[in-house]
Amino acid sequence: MIAGHLPLLALIALPPAALSAKAGCVLLQFADRPPLLEPALKMTAAAACAHGLLLALALIAASGSGA
């Protein structure tokens, strides 16, 4: 990392954003029917977990230490 910027490898954490976008579409589609929002909630949780995990792995790999 240079000057507080994320390494290029951190882009590996970007794909879960597609899952978040899909969850947003489901939310807009079923906002007036809460029982149908369960898939959106699951997608949001999965995207958050995947993003955090991928970003952590990218930072560890970029640091070169592995610890």
- Per-block mean pLDDT, blocks of 10 residues, the chain (67 long): 72 94 97 96 97 94 72
Answer yes or no: is 35 within a domain: yes
Answer yes or no: is 1 within a domain: no
Answer yes or no: is 34 within a domain: yes
- CA nearest to 16, candidates 38, 46, 42: 46
Answer yes or no: is 10 within a domain: no
Q: pTM of the entire structure?
A: 0.80
> How high is the pLDDT of residue 1?
47
* Full residue range of the structural domain in which residue 42 is found: 15-62
The crossing angle, in degrees rounded to 10, of helices 16-30 and 38-63 is 160
Answer yes or no: is 49 within a domain: yes
Total of domains in the chain: 1
